Structure 1
Amino acid sequence: MLRPAERSDLAGLPLEVAPRLLGGELSTVVDGAAVTLRITEVEAYHGRGTGEVPDPGSHARMGPTARNATMWGEPGHLYVYLSHGIHSCVNVVCGPAGTAGGVLLRAGEVLDGTDAAVARSGRSGRDLARGPGRLGQVIGLRHPRHDGVDAITGEPLHGAVARLRLGEPLAEIESGPRVGVAGRAGTHAYPWRFWIPADPTVSPFRWGRGAAAAALDLTD
């Protein structure tokens, strides 16, 4: 059984919270069109000073900026950022206010609102929300308009409402390097990607720039 998420559910470090989001559901209503998806793949990101291990792959690795301000705020808000100048990607903010952290929603299964998801993306089937850019597209949240929307209270922001629901932790999950992250941050030194085993919506792994070489260095 799922229940509405509370801020206390997201008060831990992203690395602790990320696996708990698997199997949860994110529902959005944007400009009157509703979509609900089941979260199947996530990645944890820590900001400067968050946790014991610095995270060179995080947008907040150098501290607060105008771009990453939402990551430093109250847990339960959604950090919506622009990737490659095209894709709006969605993170669930974690940790106490003033400590930067987010869990990137990498993939999901559309449970409800398929017509709206298909209309937004032009895709169908398991690829609807397979990958963070596609996920952001089908749920309708857009940077910068919806950056900071609150998925705990469901308070509207510029025509968008978001709600997060969670259940009990899944008994079986897998973890490994983050997808497409450059350098050491995209290697097994950071097994901060979590997914539901054998789920067809989970995105395939690919090395980020210089990550394969960095991974070889770690084995020397």
Structure 2
Amino acid sequence: MTALRPAVRADLARPVLEVAPALLGAHLSAGGVTVRLTEVEAYAGTSDPGSHAFRGPTPRTEVMFGPAGHLYVYFSYGMHWCCNVVCGPDGEAAAVLLRAGEVVAGEEIARGRRDAGRSRPHPARDLARGPARLASALGLDRQHDGLDLLDPATGVDLLLVPEPAAAVRSGPRVGVSGEGGDASRYPWRFWVEGEPTVSVYRPAVRRPRTRPDGAGAARP
């Protein structure tokens, strides 16, 4: 088994397109559950029309402007929480959306959160397959927005792999058209090839915004 090490600020203060693939294989632990990350998406703030922070800071997106290592947790379409790791140089509003992973510890706790009210349990691969499912399995919600991942007192931990994951693939982000409607301009979704927990790719579907700052949008 590959040895893991705690993330430090310098790991996450690099450009978002370096940090995103480096998070593949990392372990994120919260609420008694640990997820091994298998799919992520990069968002580059004010230079990225797909980002919540594209038009500059708002009270909602302020955490994205730094410092690196904090969580940006937002509500998507009035239904689900999604979790991002803030990265990049201080002030640049970059973040990595955690899209999917494998539950490697605390499966019964994750199932208690994900299977509640269901007649059939989720298959193991679906417990954290998709950003809303991942956040739910870990018990992450509004109270974790702004949390410092690198502070041991928070109870939320990020452990990195010493070497990049093997067989990393990249492609368009899910549900984000990008500038000019051309998703291929932003091949900023990264995943581990062959992982059954990686979510299904879906192209962008135009949806109405519910707030001026993009609170109804499903991307960071």
TM-score, length of structure 2 as denominator length: 0.86
- Does 1:179 pair with 2:174? yes
Aligned partner letter, 1:194: F
The answer to whether structure 1 residue 78 and structure 2 residue 77 are counterparts is: no
Q: Does residue 150 of the first structure (1) align with residue 148 of the second (2)? A: yes
Q: Distance in 2 between matches of 1:69 and 1:141?
A: 19
User: Does the aligned pair in 2 maintain the 1:40–1:107 contact within 8 Å?
Assistant: yes
Which residue of structure 2 aligns with residue 28 of structure 1?
30
Tell me the residue number matched to 1:140. 139
| Aligned equivalent of 1:216 | none
Unmatched tracts of structure 2, length 5 or more: 116-121, 207-220
Rounded Cα–Cα distance in structure 2 between residues aligned with 1:183 and 1:8: 29
Residue 3 of structure 1 corresponds to 5
Assess if the C-alpha contact under 8 Å between 1:186 and 1:207 holds in 2: no
The amino acid of 1:148's aligned partner reads G
- SS at 1:18 equivalent: helix
Q: Return the letter of the residue paired with 1:163.
A: D
Q: Give distance in 2, aligned partners of 1:162 and 1:149.
A: 8
Q: 1:194 to 1:186 in 2, by over 3 A?
A: farther
Q: Sequence identity of aligned pairs in percent?
A: 55
CA distance in 2, matches of 1:182, 1:64: 22
Q: Which amino acid aligns with 2:101?
A: G
Task: Give the Cα separation in 1 of the matches to 2:43 and 2:177.
Answer: 13
Corresponding position of 2:49:
56
1:165 aligns with 2:159: yes
- Aligned residue runs from structure 1 range 115-134, under 5 A: 115-122=108-115, 123-134=122-133
Q: Counterpart in 2 of 1:190?
A: 186
Q: For this pair of structures, how many residues does the alignment match?
A: 196
User: CA RMSD, aligned part only?
Assistant: 1.3
Structure 1 residue 186, shift from structure 2 partner = 6.3
State the shift of 1:183 in Å. Answer: 4.7
Distance 1:148 1:113 in 2: 24
Q: RCO greater where, 1 or 2, for CA within 8 Å and sep 6 or more?
A: 2
The answer for the alignment partner of 1:14 in structure 2 is 16
In the alignment, is residue 42 of structure 1 matched against residue 43 of structure 2?
A: no
For 1:208 and 1:92, the matched residues in 2 are separated by 23
Q: What amino acid maps onto 2:23 in structure 1?
A: L
SS at match of 2:57: coil
When structure 1 is superposed on structure 2, of 93-102 and 178-187 the one drifting more is 178-187
Write the mapping of 1:76-115 to structure 2, written as runs, cut at 5 A: 76-115=69-108
Secondary structure at the aligned position of 2:193 is classed as coil
Separation (CA, whole Å) in 1 of partners of 2:20 and 2:98: 9
Cα distance between partner residues in 2 of 1:170 and 1:38: 11
Aligned counterparts of 1:19 and 1:107: Cα–Cα separation in 2: 13
Which SS does the other structure have where 2:147 is aligned? coil
| C-alpha separation in 2, matches of 1:146 and 1:124 | 27
Q: For structure 1, which segment, 99-108 or 167-176, has the greater mean C-alpha deviation from structure 2 after superposition? A: 167-176
Give structure 1 regions of 4+ aligned residues with deviation exceeding 2 angstroms. Answer: 182-186
Structure 1 gap ranges (5+): 49-53, 211-220
Quote the offset at 1:69 in angstroms.
1.1
